[in-house]
Amino acid sequence: MTLAVSGGDLQRLRKLNSLAVVAALRAGGPMPLTHLAERTELARATVKQAVHDLIEQGWVAEMDPSAGGKGRPARRYRFRAEAGRVLGLDIGAHNVRAALGDLDGNVVHLSRVPVTPALTRDERLQAVDRAIDACLTGAGATEDEVWGAVAGSTGYIDLEGRIVLSRAIRDWSGAPLAEHLSARLPCPVVVENDSRLAALAEHRKGAARQVDNLVYLHLGRRPGAAVILDGAPLRGSSGAAGEIGVHPLFNLAASSDLLQASVSPVTSGLAPGEVAAALFEAVRQGDPGSTTAVLRYVKVLAMATAAMTLTVDPELVVLGGGFSRSADVLKEPLRAELETMCLRTPEIRGSTLGEECVAVGAVCFAVDHLNARLFNPAH
């Protein structure tokens, strides 16, 4: 029996072989043809042809032969993560951050533009443009090199990327952020909730690496939360998953405001944004009044965390946001409260990415979108 293979079938087969080689190089790093053949379970001649095609297309590069063994060193090949760039944005009440990354999600440059909650919508969009310009200039890149962009914003972001509601930023609900960025950048643009992107960053590059089920808490002047399930951000049916802080029973925003408005000798004369840090430091020094104020905050935080923990049963809770710098003060009392409410108390860790978390997560999310478009066998 003779099997007839059409030209279209052969073209698709070569594409699948190339995708298998790219996947192997991205997962395993540079390697010679023999190892590639083993990884992909393809014939060496097939791998050689796929590598040749990928080099011509700019996806793969040959490295200097590695010495050290007997005989002629084998040629090694690597995926060219620098072949394209992705842009991640973090648009908050007090800062706009931009991060430029390669196709593996490694950040190559970061920029920050300070802003205030009182800015008008147009002024904030202008600050976004300045952050993009500073990031591209700092990296020596151009807009044409950006293949995908993801913007993280405060507030409830629906599945179409619309800013439905923002309590932290005046005049931001309904802002045409996606349209503004699409007019500015020659690439696909996605708008996503900032806490969800921060959770993704911790999962990929931060405190939650190798953890596929976690709850992320954004603690600070503007509280928020997000969930990662089976390695992917949980968005829900409308994009509102994780917005537990808006529930009156779990009024994290009010609790945070009370914490920062605490009046005690240790906070006298401080600006509102400095009060929480002073209270946390006073707790470290054993000040009873500051400890009482922080424990009141933790009790409210624990109720919200327990509700999410009982729902999704995470392995880990990550404390992020501005208060993450005081995770050492918050972890133990939060764990003690959760033990009285949860069937199984998850581990609690502080963020390792800090203020760059959302921008890093936006870069990771942008890479995911590119992977789906460029490296998906179904396309």
- Residue 50's CATH number: 1.10.10.10
- 165 and 214 co-located in one domain: no
Residue at a domain's end among 26, 51, 79: 79
**pLDDT surpasses 90 at 135:** yes
Residue 17 to residue 25: CA distance in whole angstroms: 13
What CATH number is attached to the domain comprising 225? 3.30.420.40
Provide the number of structural domains found in the chain. Answer: 3
Which residue type, as a one-letter code, is found at position 339? E
**pLDDT surpasses 50 at 201:** yes
- 51 and 105 co-located in one domain: no
- 155 and 179 co-located in one domain: yes
Instruction: Determine which helix (DSSP H) or strand (DSSP E) holds 360, and give its type and residue range.
Output: helix 357-374
- 219 and 250 co-located in one domain: yes
Domain membership of residue 379 (yes or no) is no
Chain-centre distance of CA 311, in angstroms? Answer: 23
Domain membership of residue 148 (yes or no) is yes
- 40 and 154 co-located in one domain: no
- Average pLDDT of the chain? 89
- Res 7: pLDDT: 43
DSSP 120: -
Domain membership of residue 205 (yes or no) is no
Domain membership of residue 261 (yes or no) is yes
- Res 223: pLDDT: 81
- Which residues are within 8 A (CB) of 30 and not within 5 positions of it... i.e. 6 or more apart? 63, 76, 77, 78
- 238 and 314 co-located in one domain: yes
- The pTM score is 0.88
Among the listed residues 249, 263, 269, the one whose alpha carbon sits nearest the alpha carbon of residue 292 = 263
Domain membership of residue 2 (yes or no) is no
Q: Would you say how long the chain is, in residues? A: 379
- 99 and 41 co-located in one domain: no
Instruction: Tell me the pairing of strands 214-218 and 76-79.
Output: unpaired
Cα angle, residue 227 at apex, residues 221 and 229 outer, rounded to 5°:
165
User: Tell me: the pLDDT tens digits for 278-303?
Assistant: 889 999 999 998 898 899 889 989 99
**Secondary structure (3-state) at 5:** coil
- 40 and 128 co-located in one domain: no
**pLDDT surpasses 50 at 4:** no
Residue at a domain's end among 36, 58, 79: 79
- 317 and 337 co-located in one domain: yes
CA distances from 45 to 20, 42, 52, 64, 340 (A): 14, 8, 11, 21, 62
Residue at a domain's end among 63, 79, 95: 79
220 contacts 95 by C-beta, under 8 angstroms: no
359 CB-contact burial (10 Å; exposed 0-12 / middle 13-18 / buried 19+):
buried
Of 14-18, 148-152, 314-318, 336-340, minimum mean pLDDT range? 14-18
- 183 and 293 co-located in one domain: no
**pLDDT surpasses 60 at 67:** no
Domain membership of residue 204 (yes or no) is no
- 232 and 342 co-located in one domain: yes
Residue 110 to residue 214: CA distance in whole angstroms: 27
Task: Report the interhelical angle of 272-284 vs 327-339 (nearest 10°).
Answer: 70
242 contacts 252 by C-beta, under 8 angstroms: no
Domain membership of residue 26 (yes or no) is yes
Domain that holds residue 256: 210-352
Query: Which tokens hold the place of 332?
Result: 């133990």
Residue 211 to residue 216: CA distance in whole angstroms: 12
**pLDDT surpasses 90 at 51:** yes
Domain membership of residue 168 (yes or no) is yes
User: Tell me: the pLDDT tens digits for 257-275?
Assistant: 666 656 567 766 677 678 8
pLDDT > 90 fraction of the chain, expressed in percent and rounded: 68
- Res 5: pLDDT: 37
Residue 104 to residue 98: CA distance in whole angstroms: 17
- 242 and 190 co-located in one domain: no
Rounded mean pLDDT of 233-239?
92
